Amino acid sequence: MNNFTRSGILFVVSAPSGTGKTTLCTNVRQTPDLVYSVSCTTRPQRPGEKDGVDYFFMAKTDFEKKMKTGEMLEFADVYGHYYGTPKGPVLEHLAAGRDVLLDIDVQGARQIRGSKDPKIQEALADIFIMPPDLEELRRRLEGRGTESSQQIAKRIQAADAEMAEWKSYRYTILSSSMEEDLIKFRAIIRAERYLSRRLDLHHG
């Protein structure tokens, strides 16, 4: 009997706001063999949020200590609050052969690509979700009705800059309907799991 085992894959997903990335990740998270990486933040906990589920809520000093000791896989300062991905749990999951899903922006993805940790480099499979075009993105954002036209303009500007990054990613999904995007996303997950270099053969 030949038994194959493999180490986990680190799926990093980025997309401009309004592309439906959150919904997509929520759908993929229903897959039992995928672990969703919970981020840390120094921002105050909002009503209804659960520590360790929505975020790990941390004191700023603790977060800064982790940054200095290299315990953060990636981090960013967003309007005076830190957000980041703790490295320890990710490495534990990967070593145990569990796949990890990380939903982060292009800056965070760039930091992960630049990681000096060979285990992170081996595990990484990054995916960019490309909106059809900026006009479609504007329509989607306006359709949500949650932001002012000024905020939407800002997001469109940010999206334009983010879309220029697509070539840095291993995979690019051209966004269409949510169902289509999910099929493409799952196809990438399956393909990565069958890569020969990810498999170890044990002769039974």
Strand partners, 199: 6
Is the pLDDT reported for residue 135 higher than 90?
A: no
> Is 189 contained in some domain?
yes
pLDDT at 134: 86
Instruction: Provide the number of structural domains found in the chain.
Output: 1
> Is 67 contained in some domain?
no
> Is 58 contained in some domain?
no
> Is 74 contained in some domain?
no
> Is 81 contained in some domain?
no
| Torsions phi, psi for 117 (to 5 deg) | -80, 115
pLDDT at 204: 64
Mean pLDDT of 99-123: 94
> Is 47 contained in some domain?
no
Tens digit of each residue's pLDDT (9 = 90 or more) over 42-68: 999 999 999 998 899 999 999 999 999
> Is 72 contained in some domain?
no
> Is 104 contained in some domain?
yes
- Beta 171-174 vs 124-130: how paired, if at all? parallel
d(CA 13, CA 74): 14
**Reported confidence tier of residue 98, pLDDT bands at 50, 70, 90:** very high
Mean pLDDT value across the chain: 90
3-state secondary structure of 59: coil
pLDDT at 1: 65
Is the pLDDT reported for residue 17 higher than 80?
A: no
Instruction: Supply the CATH number for residue 10's domain.
Output: 3.40.50.300
Share of the chain above pLDDT 70, in %: 99
Domain that holds residue 153: 2-37+98-203
